[in-house]
Structure 1
Amino acid sequence: MTINIIKNLISLYKLVFINNKIYLFVSLWHIISNAVAPFITIVYFKYLLDALQFGYGLPYILKITIVMIVVNLVVTNVQIYTKSSTTLYSKWLLVPLTAMFCKKSIDMDYNCTEDQSIIQEMNRASFVLANGDNLEKYLAAVNGIFIAIIQLVFITYLATLLNPLMIIIVLAVALINAVISLKVQKKNYHIHRESLPIDRKWRYIINLATELRFAKEVRLFSLKNFVTRKGDENRAEFFSYFDKTNTNERKGLLTSTFVNILQEIGVFVILIYSVIFKGLTIGNFIVLMNGIRQFSVSFRDLFDHIVNLYTISNYVNDFFVFMNRKSELRATSKNIFIDSGSAPGKFEFINVSFHYPNDPRMILKNINLSIEPGECLVIVGENGAGKTTLVKLLMRLYDVTSGKILYNGINIQDYDYDSYMNALASVFQDFKIFAVSVHENITFKDQIEPDLYVDSLLERNNLLEKIQSLPYREKTVLSRKFESDGVELSGGQAQRLVFCRAMHKNSPVLILDEPSASLSPIAENEMYIMFSKIIKDKTTIFISHRLSSSTISDKICVLDDGEIVEYGTHSELLNKNGLYHSMYEIQSRYYKETV
């Protein structure tokens, strides 16, 4: 654990040095001013009482008083400035750390997003960022340790000249208090970790009541009482952990208070004895009494800061463990790049089998498939046949369990990961519209001037007229979450916007995963007519359980229970009178009845 704390400190202060060097300079003056501050009055009263006891006169008293006031004013001002500055800079450090965390979350392998142990690791890592006081306290603890060490060195030197026994007493008491505090903090950390899943459920319950995606179900099924009951149960469970923390801290505080009272009695007895029998001066009595109290405070502060460092280091460690997680998908890269704007290539699935992590069930079994450059392949099958999984492998969201997938004769695992991703554009069934402008939703860039290419995409997707009717045209924000004059597009309009996004990427490969799932037969037919125009000169993989997609296909691949059971053109598969023919006949009757 000590090694982890040191490693975390080094890692964090490297980031501080890179992002905010002035913090280190301000921290140095913060340490010096706070280390000196308690001794100004202690030293002053020693000289004041000696002056009164030995009759040094009024001029001497005025002189030392003026010096004390000036020094006190200077030190206090430095303390105030450095305190506010270190607080500000430590909060500002959250900005680059949050940026790092977000980038790492996006770069994280997709399979990690479905692994609950890694999701919990990510949640623990985000605790440092979500609770900004943790980082502030962590850096403050480091400064506090240096302050306490300087004070302890000075007081130890002073006390050993007068009465070393008191240092032994205070040191023993401080060690006892440190052990008590360490046990309390350690137990609190474990209690907190146990409560994290409950807190995640609480956020989910709040989302049920507030987020638009749940709004219809919550109202139609009158879920007010259901949500409230779940919330009450969750908070009751959460506060049981909160009560454990309070009880733990209360026991620790009572024990420490009792030990401190014993220390005060012991020190006072030794000092009175020294005054009566060993000729200790009143000035030195005051210096020792206040010095020992300060020693006790400094030692307690030292261990409190160490304990805080130890406790918060657990969260900081979680952060760096997550940040140091390696991408398995990127690790196989041989730095082969796909040129931007290159022509479509050929895909080959060779004996591909796959099962998901921690689930031995084979989802795909010995898949052999070729997709020619510029070809439109439609993959059909019932739910659970393995259609989406096959495409996840092609998109390298997962790597194959066995076999290989080639693109232009090269294993896709050998390509630079980001370069390969740039060769793919996709439209998913559960596509997302972001709470940014129309232009940013398509290009993910700020609109500085009119973009004719974006206008042409909107026109080709029958959206230009709609977008030009919006309050700020392409600059209109597509959400009311943050903008009162934002706009929510209809489902069909939003889907056409996502098609514009995929086309704007200008990738040689286009992947469409159930894009017509929520459309009526008529709207679906219009979509296919539009698709037939936009997929020219692209390799297109189309996943659907609706066979109307066959109208735009060159080849059709039929999956059943993770295996390719039929492959060919629409006409060839109908003539086989197999699974495809049966599915097509059933769906054709539905379309005739619906239309």
Structure 2
Amino acid sequence: TCQILNGIANYIPTVVAEKVSGRLSIGIHQKIARLAPIDFEDTKKLDDINKAENGKNSAYWFVFLIISIFTFYVPYFAFMGWYLFHLKPILALTILLVFLPTAATQLIRTKVFTKLEDKSAPVRREYEYYESCMVSREYFKETRLLGGFTYFKNLFTDSLRLLQNLKFKATMKTNLIELGMRIVTVCGYFCILYMLFDALMKKEITVGAFAAVFNSIGMLYGIMEEVICRHIGEIAKNLGTIQNYLNLLEMPERGGEDRELHGKLDITLDHVSFFYPGAEKEAVKDATFTINNGETLAVVGENGSGKSTIIRLITGLYSPSKGSVTYGGTDTSTLSMKSLFSKTSAVFQKYQKYQMKLADNIGISDVAFPVKEESLDDVCTKSGLDKNDSSFSEGYNTMLSREFDGVDLSGGQWQRIAIARGFYRNHDLIILDEPTAAIDPYEETRIYNEFAEIARNKTAIIVTHRLGSVKLADRIIVMKDGAVAQIGTHEELIHTDGEYARLYKAQEQWYREDD
């Protein structure tokens, strides 16, 4: 019987747990995709996500161990309990005498390690980041050249020591408790032996039964130690992290209604204010204006003036702390991210460098349709990207990653790819959020002119602190300290003694020839 149960226990958990592992990974990725983008600005939410990722791995082992327990240990204990009860009812209590003290230990371990995980998550996030600064490819040039490796190594070591110290204290506490409970268990074990010997002396059981039960109880004690200290102990240790995985699944989502917005839609901000999570100062203050359908709008201002934040509010990436953003009268907070972003494209200042082929790097912005080479040619031309350049030895099939046996590109080339990606997506609203910093002014002017062509009869927004190209816009919004300081055309604002005129005069030597 034991061999049969052992065979079942070896096969079923492995097969089932592998499938569960895949579902757990998919579950956490789908959940993260449904979270509001603002959640990724909240350090507590980032800690929760980090803890959930850790809990996902623990959940895999939890499923594996639970299946093992129910396919081998539970049937074995049930059989042994029935045998002992049939022989002498009081002997069936031996299972409880062995089980209860150890089980109590594991309950305490669960609480201790749950608290440990809450304390460990922010520290673990720190040391993982410092480790990436030392070993990741994107950091190694700067950290080596500027001598930053030792600095990050010291930060990594400090964080690791703090994490190890937290784990050491938790482990010492549970080990002391476990020692006390083991003493109780051993006492119970000797009580059982006394009961057996007493039953033998009173001839309530035979010598053969005594030997069988004595051997069975020794075996039972060993297996119980294995299941509780090794398996259930591991479950108890990881139960806190598993709860973190479940907590992430319960985290509020962005939500909103899935529906297509029809017609030519104006975008209106009505007394919009916004705070970043944990911030006391408003990033955007009482912004009120309307972007007319088909209008090209420029948003300008110095660094830190709130330009990028107000764009995230316009697109629905962030929801206002106060006020409302509406598309054709529909509040963006009532719409799902799918509805909001279905006809929106953007090129952000902090664009991504996907380690994929050139065609995939561009076509990823509109995955609803197969990538067409003629469409790639069109957007590459408009963004100043040449697939026949020597950098792209295999044209659109060139892998853009040294780590995957491909090529590395300059900052300007990556920037053009990001712009091509934004142009490629089918859109009614397109945004350029300072994407041309690594491109020379002449090429920047050409790209903005192409952008003006692409944006014809569509709503477009240019975000920049360089004012040479904003004359392409129908209107200009000037941001200062999170507030809308001015709104108007270039001609209106340049003749007004305000923030725009001040910025323009400060940069005048950059584009005097264009005037």
The TM-score, its normalising length taken from structure 2, stands at 0.89
Please name the residue that 1:14 is paired with: none
Residue matched to 1:453 = 375
The answer on 1:112 being equivalent to 2:24 is no
Closer, same or farther: CA 384–447 of 1 in aligned 2, 3 Å: closer
Contact 2:116–2:166 (8 Å) recurs in 1: yes
Q: Give yes or no for contact 1:167–1:292 (8 Å, CA) kept in 2.
A: no
Aligned-partner Cα distance in 2 for 1:301–1:220: 53
Post-superposition offset of 1:365: 3.0
Q: Distance in 1 between matches of 2:330 and 2:103?
A: 61
Structure 1: where are the runs of 5+ without partners?
1-35, 38-71
263-272 vs 377-386, greater mean Cα deviation:
263-272
Q: 1:183 to 1:145 in 2, by over 3 A?
A: farther
Which residue pairs with 2:457 in the alignment?
537
Match status 1:320 vs 2:246: yes
Question: Which of 103, 107, 113 lines up with 1:182 in the alignment?
Answer: 107
Deviations 1:260-304 (A, max 9, x none): 443443333333333344163232112221333344456556655
8 Å CA contact 1:151–1:298 kept in 2: the answer is no
1:190-246 deviations in Å (ceiling 9; x for gaps): 334422322222211111112243234313321122122222222322322343344
Query: For residues 227 and 368 of structure 1, do their structure 2 counterparts lie closer, same or farther at Cα, with a shift above 3 Å needed?
Result: closer
Contact 1:170 1:263 (8 Å CA) reproduced: no
> Which structure has the highest helix share of the two?
1
Paired with 2:137 and 2:368, the residues of 1 have a C-alpha distance of 26
Instruction: Give the match's secondary structure for 2:495.
Output: helix
Instruction: State whether structure 2 residue 486 is matched by structure 1 residue 577.
Output: no
Equivalent residue in structure 1 for 2:78, among 137, 142, 153? 153
Paired residues of 1:87 and 1:136 also in contact (CA < 8 A): no
Partner of 1:364: 284
* Equivalent position of 1:221 in the other structure: 146
Q: Report which stretch shifted further, 387-396 or 564-573.
A: 564-573
CA contact (8 A) 2:299 2:464 kept: yes
Structure 2 Cα separation of the partners of residues 299 and 243 of structure 1: 26
Distance 2:433 2:6 in 1: 61
8 Å CA contact 2:297, 2:462 repeated in 1: yes
Quote how far apart the aligned CAs of 1:93 are. Answer: 2.2
Where do 1:75-474 residues align within 5 Å? 75=4, 79-80=6-7, 82-129=9-56, 131=57, 134-145=59-70, 147-168=72-93, 171-278=96-203, 280-297=205-222, 300=225, 303=228, 308-327=234-253, 329-331=254-256, 333=257, 335-338=258-261, 345-444=265-364, 445=367, 451-466=373-388, 470-474=392-396
TM-score by length of 1: 0.78
CA distance in 2, matches of 1:351, 1:267: 77
Q: Which one is further off, 156-165 or 433-442?
A: 156-165
CA distance in 2, matches of 1:244, 1:226: 28
Residues 372 and 539, structure 1, Cα contact 8 Å, conserved in 2: yes
Q: Is the contact between residue 138 and residue 312 of structure 1 (CA under 8 Å) also seen in structure 2?
A: no
Aligned pair count? Answer: 510
Between the aligned partners of 2:328 and 2:370, the Cα distance in structure 1 is 38
Distance 1:119 1:158, change over 3 A: same
State the Cα RMSD in Å. 2.9
Aligned partners of 1:265 and 1:409: how far apart in 2? 79
1:467–1:176 CA distance, 2 compared to 1 (3 A): same
Q: Percent identity?
A: 23
What is the SS of the residue equivalent to 1:93?
A: helix
> Which stretch has the larger CA shift, 297-306 or 526-535?
297-306
Question: Deviation at 1:100?
Answer: 2.1
Find the counterpart in structure 2 of residue 61 from structure 1. Answer: none
Letter in 2 for 1:479: S
Q: Which runs of 5+ in 2 are unaligned?
A: none
